[in-house]
Amino acid sequence: MRAAVLTGINRPLQILDLEQESPKAGEVRVRVKAAGVCMSDWHIINGDWPLPLPMVLGHEAAGIVAECGPGVSGIAPGDHVIFSFRPHCGRCRYCSSGQTVLCIGHNDSPRWLMHDGTARVRLNGEPVNQMARIGTFAEEVVCPAEQVVKIRPDLPFTHAAIIGCSVATGIGAVIRHARVPAGSRVLVIGCGGVGLNIVQGARLAGASPIIACDLRDNKLDYARSFGATQTINGSSVDVVGRVREMTDGLGVDTAFDAIGSEATALQAVDATAPGGRAVLVGIPAFATRAPISPSQLVYGEKVISGTYYGSVRPNIDFPMLADLDMDKRIDLDSLISRTYRFEEINEGFRLMLDGAVARGVIVFE
Ligand SMILES: [Zn+2]
Ligand SMILES: [Zn+2]
């Protein structure tokens, strides 16, 4: 089984032949058909998130179930599935209350090994970690069955793959976390894979205006095609000042930060109108801190909230997003601006960092 392995910080991924064990109890083996290239993988490559290596990266993917371990129910070989990068034990306080993204049921085992604390892939006999217990830059993945969600078989695998991270995170942030009502004013900072999905989530919700901000004009062109009504190139103007000009001096009802830096988090808070909400979506480097103004929050009754994975419940929301796509209510085709062969994976990261693509997806033969 070939997989793309990170062996050291800031090194290119290496496609290596790994030994893979069969699924144990409660696990499945999935043949990967498509996998998206995401900024979160890059955070591990560049050391923003220091995690133990070697590791198979990749967490935004879809494929076909090939084998089920003992005790797996509700999933069978041949099913088309989307990977979820969060576990779902079904028993902890968060799973029980519907906040499955916050599941703590498996906190006693590392997030890069199976729930019994062992690895399913090895290189020369030594264990290799799997990002988020899945590691989907691989021809085949053995992972906990609770981390795959069955979806309709007519959904293209490239579309299914990106539902697993950027689409769920972006659209979920709008409709599941912030619950943006029709007609409300929205700002989206950062128009990469997640930001463009926040834009189309805001369009789906009926927000107006939808103001998109990025440092690159080609990203702003993308944003307009996904529903942005106004755009701001933050490299040349004062973002908060421009947003206020566009909103009667008040700011927006909901500002989304899809980047996750000190500067963009502060812009989101400052561009939010009194009574509004700044939503932090993009995952920052672990060391990032941002000096917010408590008096703004008090006098303006502003709320700051974070959303992880768009606060989605994958078992409910992945099939729902698949239906929205097949009904042409959201546009996943235009998001996928490039597909790559597995061997081109490092080129995929280079083009993502260059800002040349909305989303790049690796397609497996
Ligand atoms: Zn991702
Ligand atoms: Zn749980």
What pLDDT is stored for residue 243 in this prediction? 98
Centre of ligand 1 to C-alpha 103, Å, is: 18
Centre of ligand 2 to C-alpha 111, Å, is: 14
Considering every ligand atom shown, identify the ligand nearest to the alpha carbon of residue 168 and give its number. 1
What pLDDT is stored for residue 196 in this prediction? 97
Q: How confident is the model at residue 160 (pLDDT cuts 50, 70, 90)?
A: very high
342: its two tokens = 């597995």
Centre of ligand 2 to C-alpha 97, Å, is: 9
Centre of ligand 1 to C-alpha 181, Å, is: 26
What pLDDT is stored for residue 356 in this prediction? 84
| pLDDT higher than threshold 90 for residue 200 | yes
Please, which residues bridge with residue 215 across strands? none
Considering every ligand atom shown, identify the ligand nearest to the alpha carbon of residue 96 and give its number. 2
Residues 112, 141: Cα–Cα separation, whole Å: 13
Residues 47, 86: Cα–Cα separation, whole Å: 21
From the list 22, 38, 92, 103, the catalytic residue is 38
Residues 3, 23: Cα–Cα separation, whole Å: 17
| pLDDT higher than threshold 90 for residue 8 | yes
Give residues with Cβ within 8 angstroms of 325, minimum separation 6. Answer: 155, 159, 163, 332
38 is catalytic: yes
The pair phi, psi for residue 14, each rounded to 5°, is -110, 130
97 is catalytic: no
**Are the CB atoms for 28 and 128 separated by under 8 Å?**
no
Neighbours of ion ligand 1 (CB under 5 A): 38, 40, 60, 165
Query: Pairing mode, if any, of strands 210-214 and 230-233?
Result: parallel
Q: How confident is the model at residue 355 (pLDDT cuts 50, 70, 90)?
A: confident
| pLDDT higher than threshold 90 for residue 129 | yes
From the list 92, 165, 191, 213, the catalytic residue is 165
What pLDDT is stored for residue 326 in this prediction? 98
Model pLDDT for residues 241-278, shown as the tens digit of each residue: 999 999 999 999 999 999 999 999 999 999 999 999 99
218: its two tokens = 């080609």
| pLDDT higher than threshold 90 for residue 365 | no
| pLDDT higher than threshold 90 for residue 99 | yes
| pLDDT higher than threshold 90 for residue 78 | yes
| pLDDT higher than threshold 90 for residue 146 | yes
Residues 83, 101: Cα–Cα separation, whole Å: 13
What pLDDT is stored for residue 285 in this prediction? 83
Centre of ligand 1 to C-alpha 40, Å, is: 5
88 is catalytic: no
165 is catalytic: yes
Centre of ligand 1 to C-alpha 135, Å, is: 12
Least confident span in 95-109, 221-235, 283-297: 283-297
Centre of ligand 2 to C-alpha 316, Å, is: 15
- Rounded to the nearest integer, the mean pLDDT of the chain is 97
43 is catalytic: yes
Centre of ligand 1 to C-alpha 357, Å, is: 15
| pLDDT higher than threshold 90 for residue 351 | yes
Q: How confident is the model at residue 284 (pLDDT cuts 50, 70, 90)?
A: confident
Considering every ligand atom shown, identify the ligand nearest to the alpha carbon of residue 146 and give its number. 2
Query: Hey, CA dihedral for 260, 262, 268, 269, is it positive or negative?
Result: positive
Give residues with Cβ within 8 angstroms of 108, minimum separation 6. Answer: none
Question: Which residue intervals of 166-238 are DSSP H helices?
Answer: 168-172, 193-205, 217-225
What pLDDT is stored for residue 17 in this prediction? 97
